[in-house]
């Protein structure tokens, strides 16, 4: 008796590694959010200069979340898997901190093109408060097709002969 053929969607290579990376990302997100909620609740209860020193002494789950993010990059490099762009945008690649808007990062929109005259040149800047690293992403800019899929442009910049 022959085996039943698997559907193409079931034949994903490194499925266990994708699952592991996804789990590590979810765990890092959970721990980072818990730490953000804990520090914001402590900030309302305590006032004065001593409150900042106590928060600095007790980083909570932030270091564990940072370790999980480092594990994500290690696993993805070892198995040669590219994390999704949404997953990469939530992580500071300089210090491996999980970025949470308003807690440990600030997001602004910049347009440095001739005093902002070009509306298609808007750039979203995410600045990490932990290390000061800034990530820049284009906003409202449609992605260009890959060169092989473009119909109008000739390959390798050569002009094709008409006759």
pLDDT in tens, 70-98: 999 999 999 999 999 899 999 999 999 99
Given pLDDT bands bounded at 50, 70 and 90, which one contains residue 22? very high
What ranges in the chain are assigned the alpha helix state H? 15-45, 49-57, 62-79, 85-89
Q: Which residue has the higher pLDDT, 78 or 12?
A: 78
Given pLDDT bands bounded at 50, 70 and 90, which one contains residue 38? confident
pTM of the model: 0.71
| CA within 13 Å, CB half, 74 | 8
Given pLDDT bands bounded at 50, 70 and 90, which one contains residue 159? low
Q: For residues 21 and 81, is the Cβ–Cβ distance under 8 A?
A: yes
Mark 33-64 as b/e (b = at least 16 C-beta within 10 Å). eebbeebeeeeeeeeeeeeeeeeeeeebbbeb
Distances (CA, A) of 4 to 11, 64, 141, 144: 13, 44, 45, 41
């Amino acid at each position: 008796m022959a085996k039943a053929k698997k559907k193409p969607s079931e034949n994903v290579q490194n499925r266990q590694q994708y699952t592991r990376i996804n789990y590590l990302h979810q765990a890092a997100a959970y721990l980072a959010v818990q730490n953000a909620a804990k520090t914001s609740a402590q900030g309302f209860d305590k006032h004065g200069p001593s409150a900042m020193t106590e928060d600095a002494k007790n980083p909570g789950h932030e270091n564990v979340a940072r370790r999980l993010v480092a594990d994500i990059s290690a696993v993805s490099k070892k198995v040669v898997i590219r994390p999704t762009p949404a997953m990469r945008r939530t992580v500071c690649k300089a210090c491996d901190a999980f970025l949470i808007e308003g807690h440990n990062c600030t997001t602004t929109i910049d347009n440095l093109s001739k005093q902002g005259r070009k509306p298609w040149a808007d750039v979203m800047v995410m600045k990490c408060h932990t290390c000061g690293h800034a990530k820049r992403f284009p906003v409202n800019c449609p992605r260009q097709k890959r060169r092989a899929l473009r119909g109008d442009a000739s390959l390798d910049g050569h002009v094709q002969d008409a006759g």
